[in-house]
Structure 1
Amino acid sequence: MSAPRVTLLLACLLIPMMFGSATAQENWPRFRGVDANSAVADDPRLPDTWNKTTNVKWKAEIPGSGWGSPIVWGDRVFVSSVHSDADYEKPKAGLYLGRGRPVPPDTIHHWMVYCLSLKTGKLIWKHETHSGKPKMPRHPKSSYAAETPTTDGKRLYVLFGDLGLYCYDLGGKLLWTHAIAPRKTQFGYGAAASPVVEGGQVIYVYDNHESSYIEALDGATGKSRWKVKRDEKSTWATPFVWNHAGGTEIVVAGRKENRAYSPDGDLLWHFDGRMSVLTIPSPLVADGLLYITSGYFQDQKRPVFAVAPGGRGNIALKTGQTSNEHIR
């Protein structure tokens, strides 16, 4: 059977970058953009409406499915996808209340990376990172390409959560690979947190139900610079690189604790946020404060915290407190 195909439709969002602008962001190098806040300067050339034919510059068909966002560097678009040799259960529309798939699909899958022209949508290169049967299941609404790639402008880093992290040059040459031992996750939902780049290293977090950790790999060689165990069960929040006057912090939300690490992997601060049962949203910064939340709609605990820079040690709120020196 032929692999299912998805249509990658980007042009209506990329018009300012295609034609250049003093105010437009030239690149979109990672999950949620340059500063990971998903916000860009307004541009009058952005269309107010679009459909399958109106205000579409181009569209490209990509086999399979991928929940990760495309990223842009220069005149190239990079995106990951996974397709199967045979059909199996597809993501379902509507509210899902239940557990994940109990076992992985029994069919050969192909983990793929694609590079397209930003101007035309034409395929520049593609590469198969791996083929075989998945070893771990996935949430019925997720895919095996749930993570967004990232780039430092020299190299492309593609993470497939419980499979491995793959590094390419921008011309499509595979430079190194880093295998990831698959671990059990809550209800078999799988992995989804995207990698981030900071200071010549690529950082990823793998919270699971067996042995959670955060690890930094050398961007050029793929060798591990540091790896820190995390006393956490499954979460899916992408790390946030927080640059402020006091330094750089790698902030990771967690169900048990929210934590910030130094670029060398040292724990800077932490606090129990009494987060919801599914910790998925990634932190962001606005007006100098870091915002951390978890918002699973069925959980009565849906906290939002605004954290000031400079914290050290345990900055948790005491019983009855709604703010302190570090949490505003």
Structure 2
Amino acid sequence: MKPHLLTVVPVLFCSLVTSAGDWPEFLGPGGTARSDETVPVTWSDTENLLWMVDLPGSGSSSPVIIGDRIIVTCYVDGDAATRQVLCFDKQSGEQLWSVDFPVDYREDPYQGFITEHGYASNTPVTDGENVFVFFGKGGVHSLTLDGKRNWSVDVGKGSSNRQWGSAASPVLYKDLVVVNAAEEARALFAFDKATGKEVWRTDADLLELTYGTPRIVSSEGGEDELVISVPEEVWSLNPENGKLRWYAASPMAGNVCPSVIVDGDTVYSFGGFRASGSVAIRTGGKSDVTDTNVLWTNRSSSYVATPLLHEGRFYWIDDRGIAYCTSAQDGELIYRERVEGLGGGRPVYASPVLIGGNIYVVTRRDGTIVYPPGDEFEPIARNRFAGDDTDFNASPAVSNGKLYLRSDEALYCVGE
């Protein structure tokens, strides 16, 4: 069960340089998927749309925001296919720069589930000075906020037995960039964010089909933990050297897409297929903590989206178009209701975000649903851009009272 440690190198502490208006990583600061700001509840092509810019290619990655810059990634198809990092002025939508990364290697074939999310699904992360991008088989890259290349490293060109492509987003810990390269190498990596030098690597076959973004748990007076959910287990590693601290059995088998959710010294995980479910685990301990630290398990689950934790409850709309609310105390169901008016297939991939007092869920082809948390699912708005019929797979970003959405075709800024 234990992953194999190959290298150990000490690291030093380095704080992030971000401000209140920033949205620096997948699901915002700390991955909490919440903002105290207020953004419009309704919008359309003619209402509360401040600007829209066409994107050169598709992508399921979410935008990140630092200062006055918004950064997104795309996959540009063609004879000379490239992955791109693009930076725009968040106030005007003016493009400031772009950097190309040629796809001069063999990618997974465009078939099966990879057609659902594409080749640019990993959301960047920024420390306020540089931006770090993970492109799966295309490697990990560091760029300045002016688009200059700092370093690039390879993490492997492998594929899982499903060939579904890469999805996990990088995270920062002190002066490390941590990457879940389960698809490419069945390994977790940590790189020095200044140089790109590999600091540690942890290999494990059990990482196969692990698509979630790892999370950092910082407990007062305790040790920091890097927590990730893999098929049938949840792991905690020492983020400074990649060594396993503890593991616990989970009900989620097959593959795990949602990211771990952190609340103080408790972590929650959802996912799995065909055996799916959810689990709550108290952090801390050593080796197998299944009998001592697992607080509850439940069959309610989310296949793709990472549920939102708010005031002791989880909220999400799953990939089949069903709205859920469950209790964080025991995992029990509060409501389960089919969302009306969604198309067929898998209508939702994006994770919910709490903005002000409302939950915003971006559907793939049927607009963004806005609804308040509570005992019942009661949508108050559904907002569409009539001129865009491409997929909206990305979760939204929020900054200074504005909502930023991206589709396979365009980047949008919504505000008053």
TM-score (norm 1): 0.78
- Structure 1 residue 133 displacement after superposition: 5.9
Deviating above 6 A after TM superposition, structure 1's stretches of 4 or more consecutive aligned residues are none
CA gap 1:133/1:224 in 2 versus in 1, 3 angstroms: closer
Aligned match of 1:250? 226
Equivalent residue runs for 1:26-175 within 5 Å: 26-43=21-38, 46-85=39-78, 107-132=79-104, 134-138=106-110, 139-175=114-150
- Structure 1 residue 144 displacement after superposition: 0.9
| Alpha-carbon distance in structure 2 between the residues aligned to 1:286 and 1:187 | 32
| Alpha-carbon distance in structure 1 between the residues aligned to 2:296 and 2:33 | 28
- Structure 1 residue 247 displacement after superposition: 2.7
| Alpha-carbon distance in structure 1 between the residues aligned to 2:136 and 2:105 | 15
SS at match of 1:140: helix
User: What is the identity, as a one-letter code, of the residue corresponding to 1:313?
Assistant: S
- Structure 1 residue 309 displacement after superposition: 2.7
| Alpha-carbon distance in structure 2 between the residues aligned to 1:193 and 1:290 | 18
**Structure 2 residue corresponding to 1:294, chosen from 271, 290, 296:** 271
SS at match of 1:247: coil
| Alpha-carbon distance in structure 2 between the residues aligned to 1:38 and 1:25 | 14
- Structure 1 residue 295 displacement after superposition: 4.6
**Structure 1 residue corresponding to 2:255, chosen from 259, 278, 286:** 278
Aligned match of 2:409? none
Aligned match of 1:5? none
Calculate the aligned-residue CA RMSD, in Å: 2.3
SS at match of 2:180: strand
SS at match of 1:141: helix
- Cα deviation code 1:56-83 (max 9, x no counterpart): 1111111110110000000000111011
User: What is the identity, as a one-letter code, of the residue corresponding to 1:284?
Assistant: I
CA gap 1:124/1:304 in 2 versus in 1, 3 angstroms: same
Report if aligned partners of 2:155, 2:181 keep a CA contact under 8 Å in 1.
Answer: no
State percent identity of aligned pairs: 28
- Cα deviation code 1:5-26 (max 9, x no counterpart): xxxxxxxxxxxxxxxxxxx941
**Structure 2 residue corresponding to 1:261, chosen from 237, 242, 245:** 237
- Structure 1 residue 108 displacement after superposition: 2.9
Deviates more, 1:184-193 or 1:287-296: 287-296
- Cα deviation code 1:175-217 (max 9, x no counterpart): 1000232112232111111100111010001223x84110100
| Alpha-carbon distance in structure 2 between the residues aligned to 1:304 and 1:117 | 40
CA gap 1:52/1:317 in 2 versus in 1, 3 angstroms: farther
SS at match of 2:190: strand
CA gap 1:70/1:134 in 2 versus in 1, 3 angstroms: farther
- Structure 1 residue 131 displacement after superposition: 3.9
| Alpha-carbon distance in structure 1 between the residues aligned to 2:88 and 2:280 | 39
User: What is the identity, as a one-letter code, of the residue corresponding to 1:290?
Assistant: V
Report if aligned partners of 1:261, 1:267 keep a CA contact under 8 Å in 2.
Answer: yes
TM-score (norm 2): 0.62
| Alpha-carbon distance in structure 1 between the residues aligned to 2:151 and 2:81 | 21
Report if aligned partners of 2:213, 2:228 keep a CA contact under 8 Å in 1.
Answer: yes
Give the structure with the larger strand fraction. 2
- Cα deviation code 1:206-256 (max 9, x no counterpart): 223x84110100000000000011231222111111222113211111004
Deviates more, 1:130-139 or 1:240-249: 130-139
Report if aligned partners of 1:109, 1:134 keep a CA contact under 8 Å in 2.
Answer: no
CA gap 1:321/1:83 in 2 versus in 1, 3 angstroms: closer
What runs of 5+ residues in structure 1 fail to find an aligned partner? 1-23, 86-106
User: What is the identity, as a one-letter code, of the residue corresponding to 1:39?
Assistant: R
User: What is the identity, as a one-letter code, of the residue corresponding to 2:246?
Assistant: W
Aligned match of 1:218? 192
Aligned match of 1:306? 280
Aligned match of 1:6? none
| Alpha-carbon distance in structure 2 between the residues aligned to 1:322 and 1:116 | 44
| Alpha-carbon distance in structure 2 between the residues aligned to 1:170 and 1:321 | 43
User: What is the identity, as a one-letter code, of the residue corresponding to 1:225?
Assistant: V
User: What is the identity, as a one-letter code, of the residue corresponding to 1:110?
Assistant: T
**Structure 2 residue corresponding to 1:206, chosen from 173, 181, 188:** 181
Report if aligned partners of 1:66, 1:82 keep a CA contact under 8 Å in 2.
Answer: yes
Aligned match of 1:239? 214
User: What is the identity, as a one-letter code, of the residue corresponding to 1:130?
Assistant: P
Report if aligned partners of 1:108, 1:133 keep a CA contact under 8 Å in 2.
Answer: no
Report if aligned partners of 1:199, 1:263 keep a CA contact under 8 Å in 2.
Answer: no
| Alpha-carbon distance in structure 1 between the residues aligned to 2:246 and 2:72 | 34
SS at match of 1:63: coil
CA gap 1:133/1:225 in 2 versus in 1, 3 angstroms: closer
Aligned match of 2:167? 192
- Structure 1 residue 173 displacement after superposition: 0.5
Aligned match of 1:12? none
Report if aligned partners of 1:136, 1:182 keep a CA contact under 8 Å in 2.
Answer: no
- Cα deviation code 1:129-163 (max 9, x no counterpart): 22436432351212111100001111110110122
| Alpha-carbon distance in structure 2 between the residues aligned to 1:261 and 1:29 | 23
SS at match of 2:162: helix
Which of the pair has the greater relative contact order for Cα pairs under 8 Å at 6+ separation? Answer: 2
- Structure 1 residue 34 displacement after superposition: 0.3
SS at match of 1:57: strand
| Alpha-carbon distance in structure 2 between the residues aligned to 1:189 and 1:315 | 31
Tell me the matched-pair count: 274
SS at match of 1:306: strand
| Alpha-carbon distance in structure 1 between the residues aligned to 2:62 and 2:227 | 21
